[in-house]
Amino acid sequence: MAIKEDEVIFYSGYKGEETPRAVRTGGHEYPVDEVLWRKRVVDRATGKMVERFGCRIAGREIEIRRDETGRTEILPPGILP
């Protein structure tokens, strides 16, 4: 099984994956210290629904984007040690 370079672990509630709880990257797992904000928007480029989360992880503020297919992206890339 291939190891994903960046993986976001979400809390799974009755609605499915709801809130980011941790990020795995570079062989380490970093817990989400705080979810600062959450938005659901339509991506202008693709027309897909995107969930955006502002989070504090390891003393840094990052944004986690997840599209309706479940693909996640951490912004800015490479911010976590």
- For 17-69, how does the pLDDT look when each residue is reduced to its tens digit (9 = 90+)? 689 999 998 889 999 999 999 999 998 888 889 999 999 998 999 999 998 88
Contacts 24+ apart (CB under 8 A), 4-12: 6/72, 6/74, 7/72, 8/64, 8/66, 8/72, 8/74
SS3 state of residue 29: strand
CA distance 76 to 81: 12
- DSSP letter at 31? E
**pTM (two decimals):** 0.82
